[in-house]
Each structure stands twice: as C-alpha cells, then as structure tokens.
Amino acid sequence: GAVVSQHPSRVICKSGTSVKIECRSLDFQATTMFWYRQFPKKSLMLMATSNEGSKATYEQGVEKDKFLINHASLTLSTLTVTSAHPEDSSFYICSASPGAGGDETQYFGPGTRLLVL
Amino acid sequence: GESVGLHLPTLSVQEGDNSIINCAYSNSASDYFIWYKQESGKGPQFIIDIRSNMDKRQGQRVTVLLNKTVKHLSLQIAATQPGDSAVYFCAEILHAGGTSYGKLTFGQGTILTVHP
C-alpha cells in the first residue's frame, strides 16, 4: 500500500518550453502533497506544499510563477516548470500524505529527472 | 537557520556487520523524526520513524535511537546486506504553532556501502 507514482520518469526539453510533471497517489487519498527538488549528491529541498482544492504554499526563494502547482484532486498533483532553462535541470520528487487519522507519513514518488537543453 | 546534519557522509561496512548511521539536529523543538533510504535514481523510501516522546523504536532489522539531551538521532541496521547500500537521510518535523502538519527538513545524507 501507499504507492505514489510520478510521470514522466525522465524528460528532456528545449530551453523556453514548459514541462508538466504528474504525481499520483495510487491507493490512498492524499490530503497534502509536497514537491521537492534534489541536486546530485545533495539532500531534498522542499519547494512547496499543496492541499487539495487550495493554492500551494511555496517555500522562500521558490518562484510560484515559475513552478506552477495544481492539486485538483485527492490523488493528483501536478508541477509545471514554465519557460524552463538549463538551471532548472534537476531531480523533482513529490510526496503524498494521507493526513487522515493523524497519519502524516510522507510517501515519496520515484522522482522525475528533468534535463533542459 | 537551524538544520538537521549528519556526522558521517560515507560509511562502508562488510556484509553481515551492523551499521550505525548518525544524525545531529539543532532544533530542540522538533517532535517527529524519520529515516529514509534513497537508492540511486529513486525517491526516498520510509524506513522508520520516532516521536520525541520516545527514545527508541525497533523495526525489522532497524532500530532508531533518539537522544534529546544531545539532540542526536541514529539508525542501526542489523546484519547489513548489499541491498542496504543507499543514501540514508534523517528528517525532522517541527509542529509549530499547534498545527497538525509540519514540514520535513532533510539532513545531509549518509552514503552506506555494503561490501559482500
């Protein structure tokens, strides 16, 4: 149980294009989903927290117009990297938390490797 | 700012040995701690957690110890296997202001290599 998927797993795009990454909780409803960014050999850095049906809360230094987050349902959140540039190349990881009954465990997706040329 | 950090960035052990991965945290108000395992190119995998009102918790082959006096967290892996090779992160959550939800702050990470 508690499986989180991400799509795509890898994406290569040209500079200036937008890329959408999907995060799905497959066997539970996620009250809250989180988006992280990870550089090689570094730790995960939280980008934003999203609750179903409301606007995402972005961490300091993360541009909300650059990284658009939509949490349209209890099983799906999307991250859109708009007008991507090479410096946006990174490993993007989402997590989902049931939230119900005080269960705040975050279950992580497999990550999406983004390469912007 | 306050953060979670690790003493050892790399750890190499022989198969069958016990492994101990350490973590120091600086925010004494953190009340929930989690250990994650991350294999190359994959997302973090939950291993074990512990709340601040406990000092020890055991799982299958893993034990987490929490020493609030010195703000230290450790993960013990018994009979380490080659499949345990990965990066291990500790993470803390601070439930500030009585909110039911806290943000995970990840530590630096320790690379565990298990030699056959």
Please indicate if any CB of chain B lies within 8 Å of the CB of A7: no
Integer CA distances (angstroms), B45 to A93, B61, B80, B86, in order: 12, 15, 17, 10
Considering only alpha carbons, which residue of chain A is nearest residue B49? Answer: A105
Q: So what's the pLDDT on residue B6?
A: 42
Q: So what's the pLDDT on residue B3?
A: 46
Q: Looking only at Cα atoms, what is the longest distance across chain B?
A: 48
% of chain B beyond a pLDDT of 90: 71
- What letter would DSSP give residue A87? G
Set of chain B residues whose Cβ sits within 8 Å of the Cβ of A45:
106
Please indicate if any CB of chain B lies within 8 Å of the CB of A43: yes
Please indicate if any CB of chain B lies within 8 Å of the CB of A76: no
Residue B61 near residue B79 (C-beta atoms within 8 A): yes
pLDDT range class, residue B96, cuts 50, 70, 90:
low
Q: What is the pLDDT of residues A54-102, one digit of tens each?
A: 889 999 999 999 999 998 899 999 999 999 999 999 999 999 988 766 6
Distance CA B55, CA B46 (A): 19
Residue A85 near residue A116 (C-beta atoms within 8 A): yes
Considering only alpha carbons, which residue of chain B is nearest residue A51? Answer: B101
Distance CA B91, CA A44 (A): 10
Map residue A23 onto helix, strand or coil.
strand
The three-point CA angle A32-A3-A67 to 5° equals 45
pLDDT range class, residue A2, cuts 50, 70, 90:
confident
Please indicate if any CB of chain A lies within 8 Å of the CB of B103: yes
Q: What are phi and psi of B40, to 5 degrees?
A: -55, 125
